[in-house]
Structure 1
Amino acid sequence: MPPLLLLLTFLLPPEAGTEEIIGGHEAKPHSRPYMALVLFTSGEKRSCGGVLVQEGFVLTAAHCEGSSMTVILGAHNIKELEKTQQVIRVRKAIPHPDYDPDTLSQDIMLLQLEIEAKLTRAVQPLRLLGNVTQVNPGDKCLVAGWGQMSPSGTSASKLQEVVLTVQNELKCKSAFRVYSAITEICVGDPRNTKSCFKGDSGSPLVCNNVVQGIFSSGKDDGVPPGVFAKVSYFLPWIKRTMKHF
């Protein structure tokens, strides 16, 4: 199927229940060449974000697993056929073995691609460092994604980005039924409206050009904070898994 038709097949209306950026702005085209759009079927056609961490692997959220999984790299406007886009099927989805779909704990997954991505100006991995340093409350990090720009608004066709502030773990412990400071990061100032929302599940939290988190969940009304899987905790599993496959 041509890339444009594939994209249009998977584009979702605002009410479809995907996580997206609120309070952000359009990113400079292809300035985030590590960004991936993950398309899949789970009862209905859905999409998530992701990050290319190696030519053959994309890191995303475990709850983004489904059938007919495809990754699109090098995209800015997902409603147009861009020469920069690479559409690659997923060979194997590898969720963390301790992922719990009921609580969304350990909500992280590697996608092995059928063919390795061709590295271009618009497609570049955000490689994992040997030791990912910890983030601290007050640190400002970037998240990018495609989708709704307000809880009741329409989905954006062009990549949006937003700068979010890491929060004290108590903010998430009071906002969510289950939260672990060991495996998760609390992100987004409750005093403003900037946040990830429905469609950005799986999108990376990037701090000083390092992948620190993978967006897992937020509140139904889109009010921050949100919860990200802590990449530093999962780094041994990520590296071991990529080496094995």
Structure 2
Amino acid sequence: FPRLPLMMLLLLLTIAFPWEIIGGKEARPHSRPYMAFVSIETGINQRRKCGGFLIREDVVVTAAHCNCNLGNISVLLGAHNVKKEREWGRQKIWVRRRIPHPEFNDETGENDIMLLQLAQEARLSDQVQLIPLPRYGDKVKPRSVCSVAGWGLTSVIPGMDSNVLMEVDLEVMEDRVCSRRFPNKYKPGTMLCAGDQRGRKSSFKGDSGGPLVCGTVAQGIVSFGPKDASPPEVYTRVSQFIPWIKATMEHLQALDPLEFSSCP
């Protein structure tokens, strides 16, 4: 049985590195109709992916670190299996403009939020819906159970990403937990701390930009986590950016609808 040692090795790697959505499950198809699959061109025949969420028919929110250096960005709405091209209700829309927060810091992860203006409005349906945003200054209480979803890696083993939407429940933690874990990066005012106390559940690479949903509201954005594969993870605190989001969307309405922009 020559394959047995490899199978055992994969099992050991899975057990040793819990920072992955192994503790999650496949989402019920279209139960999260606000989810957006963000595809970013990074070079010739090269792409990276992120998550996002629809807040207006023509605006998707994602993480600023999902921005690219060249090429185009598209979003896929209404999808469950992103490889299933004939899936009912899916809409692929190109991005007209990307607007990362002007004070985004790639080194510290501060202000990790970006708006994507779509080239055309999405058609709302059972498969495609908007998600509510919190009020400015809203706080999520520690120990609140929230959820995160995405098409990112399901294992630390390269290539073990998911074609179907996966979801996992996480617990909001005290700010001091992330302040200790990330002493030079975590900013309680604009970041949220969440994870699994037992270290078996997490968002992971490819889930960046997706929403941390508490109740029915998008309270966080998947931002960054520790490199040693242990919780907690850090999420952008959406409630602190409500004024910027509203002002930016108002400005978008006044822009030339035929203008397209590419990555800087």
- Asked if the contact 2:101–2:111 (Cα under 8 Å) also holds between the matched residues in 1, the reply is yes
Instruction: Pick closer, same or farther for the CA change 1:39–1:87 going to 2, 3 Å.
Output: same
Asked which structure has the greater CA Rg, the reply is 2
Could you tell me which residue of structure 1 aligns to residue 27 of structure 2? 27
How do 1:1-245 and structure 2 match up within 5 A?
A: 21-42=21-42, 44-66=46-68, 67-81=71-85, 82-131=87-136, 133-152=138-157, 154-176=160-182, 177-245=184-252
Instruction: Pick closer, same or farther for the CA change 1:77–1:145 going to 2, 3 Å.
Output: same
Instruction: Pick closer, same or farther for the CA change 1:129–1:229 going to 2, 3 Å.
Output: closer
Task: Tell me the amino acid that sits aligned with residue 73 of structure 2.
Answer: M
The percentage of aligned residue pairs carrying the same residue is: 50
CA displacement at 1:21 relative to structure 2: 3.3
Superimposed CA distance per residue, residues 61-117 of structure 1 (whole angstroms, 9 cap, x where no aligned partner) = 001012310000000011111122100000000001110111111100000000010
Instruction: Pick closer, same or farther for the CA change 1:106–1:175 going to 2, 3 Å.
Output: same
CA displacement at 1:129 relative to structure 2: 4.7
Q: Which has the higher strand share?
A: 1
Task: Tell me the amino acid that sits aligned with residue 160 of structure 1.
Answer: M
Task: Tell me the amino acid that sits aligned with residue 138 of structure 1.
Answer: R
Moved over 3 A (4+): 19-22, 129-132
CA displacement at 1:220 relative to structure 2: 2.1
Q: What 5-or-longer segments of structure 1 have no aligned partner? A: 1-18
Question: Equivalent residue of 1:42, what SS?
Answer: strand
**In the comparison of the two structures, how many residue pairs are matched?**
227
TM-score normalised to the size of structure 1? Answer: 0.88
TM-score normalised to the size of structure 2? Answer: 0.82
- Asked if the contact 2:132–2:216 (Cα under 8 Å) also holds between the matched residues in 1, the reply is no
The more displaced of 86-95 and 217-226 is 217-226
Taking only aligned residues, the RMSD between alpha carbons, in angstroms, comes to 1.6
- Asked if the contact 1:22–1:196 (Cα under 8 Å) also holds between the matched residues in 2, the reply is no
The more displaced of 225-234 and 34-43 is 34-43
